[in-house]
Amino acid sequence: MPIDYDKLLARPFPQIEQPYSARDTILYALGIGVGADPLDEDQVRFAFEEAEGFAPLPTMPVVMAGPGFWVREPDTGVTWEQVLHGEQRLTLHNPMPSEGIAVGQTRIDGIVDKGEGKGALIYVAREIHDKATGTHIATSVSTTFARADGGFGGPDGPTLPVSALPDRAPDMADEVTTVPQAALIYRLSGDTNPLHASPSVATQAGFPAPILHGLCSYGIAGWSILRSCCGGDPAKLKQLDLRFSSPVFPGETLRTEIWRDGTDVSFRTSVVERDKVVLNNGYARIAP
């Protein structure tokens, strides 16, 4: 059945409580690749619970207290086999504790019908709070591109704007080489889609090998911004937005080019081995 615009826009989501420990915080960091240099104290800070200043990476809220792969439920009208994660936005209101219970409340903020054969955009927002204190940790907004579901009679806008990159050479760049088992580690933070683990599933989907999670690439770009522009201080990163433009394979090197204009940071990320842009229109806001 096609998407029912009014029904999908009003879709209720249960409040999700997700307990997490220092072990989960460390596992997320290791999945991003932080800790590759065990002698680098700036990395060890996020990968060892006894390190001074131990804290979660600031991008960790994107994997917390979500509703799961809800588009797979038949009453959504979404052809779940054809969905892609198109964009990710994260606004950080307060630092997340290194362990606790995260509370997430999801809502659909908008649906855009791009037309028959052109797909649809579904903007899904999630507010994340700390249960013990009620502190508002983050607002996560993701764009789901439902490639097979356009033409249901919904509105053709408005679409969320994307950040344009400056028309000059980047001010700096940072490289992170992923390990071949990166997706197998990252999936333990919650995304167990077999596309990222099973060679046969990847082949069926048209890929030569399992691909890296988009949110893992997102976290790697966040790590590059964190250590290049924030002095490694997770409290200084206030916003991280980007558009996914191409898949990444575990073992590839991600090079993030960075333009800094005061507290505004623009960036894009490419795979070095294939000279392919994989994350584009990146924008980060950092504390003064």
DSSP-derived 3-state class of residue 288 = coil
Annotation says 211 is catalytic:
yes
Q: What is the pLDDT of residues 199-224, one digit of tens each?
A: 998 998 889 999 999 999 999 999 99
CA distance linking residue 238 with residue 90, whole number of Å? 8
CA distance linking residue 29 with residue 47, whole number of Å? 6
At 71 the pLDDT is 93
Contacts with 83 (C-beta within 8 Å, 6 or more apart), sequence order: 71, 144, 145, 146, 147
Residues constituting the chain: 288
Catalytic one among 86, 100, 150, 214? 214
Task: Flag whether pLDDT at 149 surpasses 90.
Answer: yes
**Domains of the chain by range and CATH?**
5-146 (3.10.129.10), 172-286 (3.10.129.10)
Catalytic one among 24, 174, 191, 241? 191
Residue labelled with tokens 């795979």: 271
At 193 the pLDDT is 86
Q: What's the average model confidence in pLDDT over 6-29? A: 98
Annotation says 157 is catalytic:
no
Q: What's the average model confidence in pLDDT over 234-243? A: 98
pTM: 0.95
Catalytic one among 196, 213, 219, 225? 196
State how far the alpha carbon of 265 is from the alpha carbons of 109, 163, 199, 278, 288, in Å. 26, 10, 37, 18, 12
Strands of the sheet with 100-113, listed across from one edge: 16-20, 100-113, 120-130, 136-146, 83-92, 237-244, 276-286, 264-271, 253-261, 172-177
Annotation says 214 is catalytic:
yes
Q: Which residues pair with 166 in a beta bridge?
A: none
Task: Flag whether pLDDT at 229 surpasses 90.
Answer: yes
Task: Flag whether pLDDT at 246 surpasses 90.
Answer: yes
Greatest alpha-carbon pair distance for the chain in Å reads 57
At 196 the pLDDT is 93
Catalytic one among 211, 220, 258, 286? 211
Annotation says 191 is catalytic:
yes
At 160 the pLDDT is 95
Q: What's the average model confidence in pLDDT over 178-205? A: 93
CA distance linking residue 265 with residue 225, whole number of Å? 8
**Which is nearest to 210 in space by CA: 193, 223, 225?**
193
State how far the alpha carbon of 24 is from the alpha carbons of 35, 88, 123, 128, 215, in Å. 14, 22, 27, 17, 16
**Which is nearest to 253 in space by CA: 278, 233, 222?**
278
At 81 the pLDDT is 87
At 30 the pLDDT is 98
Q: What is the pLDDT of residues 69-127, one digit of tens each?
A: 999 999 999 998 889 999 999 999 999 999 999 999 999 999 999 999 999 999 999 99
Task: Flag whether pLDDT at 1 surpasses 90.
Answer: no
At 174 the pLDDT is 98
At 182 the pLDDT is 97
At 169 the pLDDT is 98
